Amino acid sequence: MKVDLNRINALAKKKKEEGLTPAETKEQLKLRKAYLGEIRGQVLGTIDGLKILDKEGNDVTPDKLKHANSQKKHAGNILSNKIPRV
């Protein structure tokens, strides 16, 4: 879902200036929730892709993160194998 930041900002401005109707308040909460979900997804995607190295260049990535990364790579390979090549 692509969140409409312009609409979020317009509702925030209207709330400050004149207040929102109950329907607009509900819409604002829904848009904010969707926006925060997108941001969280981006942050988690970035963290999941990290490889942590010490000063000597040794991989010190926590095992839990390594396992999660390998599971995602494996899931991606399974999906890409099912996509027909043209």
Q: Report the pLDDT value the prediction gives residue 86, as an integer from 0 to 100.
A: 42
Measuring CA to CA, how many Å separate 19 from each of 16, 23, 71? Answer: 6, 12, 47
Q: Is the dihedral of CA 18, 24, 3, 76 positive or negative?
A: positive
pLDDT for residue 50: 85
Vertex 35 angle, CA 32 and 37, to 5°: 110
**CA 77 to CA 86: how far, in whole Å?**
18
- Supply the pTM of this predicted model: 0.62
pLDDT tens for the chain, 86 residues: list them.
578 999 999 999 999 999 999 999 999 999 999 999 999 999 988 888 888 899 999 989 888 877 877 777 666 554 444 554 44
pLDDT confidence of residue 79: 47
d(CA 42, CA 8): 19
